[in-house]
Amino acid sequence: SASDKGGWSSFMAKEVSEQPDAVANTLRGRITDGVVTVPELTAFGDDILAGVGRIVIVACGTASYAGAVAKYAIEKWARVPVDVELSHEFRYREPVLTADTLVVSISQSGETMDTLMAVKYAMAEGTKAISICNTQGATIPRESDAVIYTHAGPEVAVASTKAFVAQITALYLFALHLARVRGSLTQAELRAQAAQLQAIPEKIQIVLGEAPAIKQLATWMSDTRAVLFLGRHVGFPIALEGALKLKELAYIHAEGFAAGELKHGPIALIEPGQPVFVVVPSPRGSAHLHPKVISNIQEIRARGARIIAIAELGDAAVLPFADTVIHIPLAAPLFEPLLAVIPLQIFAMELSIAKGLDVDQPRNLAKSVTVE
């Protein structure tokens, strides 16, 4: 009913707007004296965490992209190799699981059968398993050795939005706890990263202020047949998530690419008028990658692409080459995904609405897939 939607026109619109709280509530009680300490992980065992040699993240759909973002943070901060696997691919190929492997599953519902089976498989092989889950008491956290709950609140719209930012938040807490017990970051670095996390809710609120402009863009583009998304580093999984949102909500053919891969194939798709979203890395924080992405933009623009750039506020280099720029506030590079994904969610949602589709319950999809 409309009252459950709290005055919003859809659950999706409500849940997109709740993302500052989804992050803030997931952080609560997990930063002490400016440093990340996750009580659930302390209970699991800091000695076990200190001895982990490899992490395998298993998940499906949007949750798998949260895992793909977290790979960059876990490897950088905790210096542990991370593989991100689709649960259904992991389970059926006799994956190599050594005694020091830790499996981290991510599931909003905690009931996705493919992910449950992957966790059970790993545990039967003697691997420890930690669950990132948004649903208290769900099957996957019950089957796991430990759980870090995301506190996004119930997510009703089928396509995931607020659970995604909460998952990245929980995974970053996991990464910083791990870095602390392993001594891979200094106390000052641990504090700086925790402070970056705590600043995210306010910055998401600022990005939400771009909604009217994004709605306008979506309305203009309502007859678009294909959209491409480019990103690099942590912007790459965000490009994949942007494409997934557009498929799910607006039934538009969409594909995400790593920007560096463009010249190895996807650039052949560019023809005059082709819309391309580009997640542009920060010119300050990613000084080595920023010019490379700008030159990607120039290459495809010269071939007629219509560029919609998600770029840091004050990034002047992107302005001459973009048809549209959506600004995000300044953040350290690893934190940009929590901001850059918001305009992509809003774009997909508004395009769905502009096409008169059911944004909360897209055709053919289920909120949680409890069959293999």
Q: Does residue 61 interact with ligand G6P by CB under 6 A?
A: yes
Least separation in angstroms between residue 64's CB and ligand G6P is 8
Least separation in angstroms between residue 351's CB and ligand G6P is 17
Inter-residue contact 20 to 205 (CB < 8 Å): yes
Of the candidate residues 17, 19, 101, 107, the single one contacting ligand G6P (CB under 6 A):
107
Least separation in angstroms between residue 133's CB and ligand G6P is 8
Give which of 273, 61, 331, 67 is closest to 310, Cα–Cα.
Answer: 331
Which one, 37 or 107, has the nearer CB to ligand G6P?
107
Q: Does residue 365 interact with ligand G6P by CB under 6 A?
A: yes
Q: Does residue 62 interact with ligand G6P by CB under 6 A?
A: yes
Inter-residue contact 303 to 288 (CB < 8 Å): no
Q: From 72-80, 104-112, 221-229, 264-272, give the range in contact with ligand G6P by CB under 6 A.
A: 104-112
Inter-residue contact 117 to 92 (CB < 8 Å): no
Least separation in angstroms between residue 190's CB and ligand G6P is 29
The one-letter code for the residue type at 64 is S
C-alpha–C-alpha distance, residues 135 and 147, integer Å: 11
Of the candidate residues 25, 26, 37, 108, the single one contacting ligand G6P (CB under 6 A):
108
Q: Does residue 213 interact with ligand G6P by CB under 6 A?
A: no
Site string for ligand G6P, 112-151 (x = CB under 6 A): x--x------------------------------------
C-alpha–C-alpha distance, residues 105 and 119, integer Å: 7
Residue 284 tokens read as: 């300050």
Which one, 158 or 338, has the nearer CB to ligand G6P?
158
Task: Name, in order, each residue with C-beta under 8 angstroms of 349's C-beta and a sequence gap of 6 or more.
Answer: 10, 12, 13, 16, 218, 245, 249, 359
Give the active site residues: 367
Q: How many residues bind ligand G6P (CB under 6 A)?
A: 16
DSSP string, 65-111: HHHHHHHHHHHHHH---EEEEEHHHHHTS-----TTEEEEEEESSS-
Which one, 108 or 282, has the nearer CB to ligand G6P?
108
Q: Does residue 345 interact with ligand G6P by CB under 6 A?
A: no
Of the candidate residues 23, 31, 63, 97, the single one contacting ligand G6P (CB under 6 A):
63
Q: Does residue 26 interact with ligand G6P by CB under 6 A?
A: no
Least separation in angstroms between residue 169's CB and ligand G6P is 15
Q: Does residue 52 interact with ligand G6P by CB under 6 A?
A: no
Query: Which residue in this structure is represented by tokens 């609120």?
Result: 205
C-alpha–C-alpha distance, residues 322 and 319, integer Å: 6
C-alpha–C-alpha distance, residues 259 and 232, integer Å: 5
Q: Does residue 369 interact with ligand G6P by CB under 6 A?
A: yes
The beta strands (E) that lie in 232-368 are given as: 253-258, 275-279, 306-312, 324-328
Least separation in angstroms between residue 244's CB and ligand G6P is 8
Q: Does residue 60 interact with ligand G6P by CB under 6 A?
A: yes
Give which of 17, 335, 11 is closest to 168, Cα–Cα.
Answer: 335
Which one, 119 or 181, has the nearer CB to ligand G6P?
119
Tell me which residues touch ligand G6P (CB under 6 A). Answer: 60-63, 107-109, 112, 115, 158-160, 365, 367-369
